[in-house]
Amino acid sequence: MNESGNAVENELRSRNLRMLAALAGLFLLPLAVAFWMYYGTDWRPVRTVNHGELIAPVRSLPAARLPAVIPDTAPAQLFHRRWSLVYVGDGRCADACRQALYVMRQTRLSLNSEMDRVDRVFLATSQCCAREFLAHEHPGLLVLDATGTSANSLLGVFPANEREQSLFVIDPLGNLMMRYDVRQNPKGLLQDLKKLLSLSHIG
């Protein structure tokens, strides 16, 4: 091959190498920038995986046998058979209580075929209880009298601040794991419950 042929071949080889280098740069540059931003700076991506307040680490609920108000008897394995939505508050059930129980009821109904995997529980901490209202407006709600000293260890696990405005999520292993402000859009609670039920093989 003459010198001109070698020159053309070298030029083609050089052009191909430049093209490969450019393509490699297109793929590697974003990775390098992301790597530098994550490990070389204080920046971290904002991750929103749930709408409620995640309680971390989860809090294991102690065993407690509380008197049942509605229905007449409580399940033997309280908080250890299904997912549970729990409200903790005054048994007279004033406005904040009624709003929380309404959100609880409607959220469970919106789960459709999955709603039987979720229990609704009201732990009445005083003035127990507005039986007629609770039985009429919230059929299927488990109301427990938590006014006695035997309930203290159980109630102590639930965060006390803004408790009357909160709904709590307990997993089928008896772990308190999330809290929701019922004054916020209840769709967030529904979305998180759907996600939990779809990922869970228990309860």
Instruction: Say if CB 182 and CB 165 are below 8 A apart.
Output: yes
Cα separation, 63 vs 173, in Å, equals 12
Could you identify the residue written with the tokens 């991506």?
A: 45
What tokens were used for 131?
């039986």
pLDDT of residue 199: 86
pTM exceeds 0.85, yes or no: no
* pLDDT at site 41: 54
Which CATH number describes the domain made up of 53-199? 3.40.30.10
Position 29 pLDDT exceeds 60: no
Whose CA is closest to 66, among 136, 139, 125? Answer: 125
- Which pLDDT score, from 0 to 100, does residue 79 have? 86
Distance from C-alpha of 202 to C-alpha of 3, rounded to nearest angstrom:
76
User: H-type helices in 75-186, by residue range?
Assistant: 95-110, 131-137, 152-155
Mean pLDDT of 186-190: 90
pLDDT tens digit sequence for 54-66: 888 989 999 888 9
For position 38, what pLDDT does the model report?
47
User: What CA–CA distance (Å, rounded) separates 79 from 86?
Assistant: 10
Burial of 130 (0-12, 13-18, 19+ CB in 10 A): buried
Nearest to 186 by CA among 69, 70, 67, 52: 52
Lowest mean pLDDT among 37-41, 79-83, 183-187: 37-41
Q: Are 172 and 152 in contact (CB under 8 A)?
A: no
Q: How many Cβ atoms from other residues are within 10 Å of residue 8's Cβ? A: 11
Q: Is the pLDDT of residue 78 over 70?
A: yes
76 has pLDDT over 90 = no
Percentage with pLDDT > 70 across the chain: 77
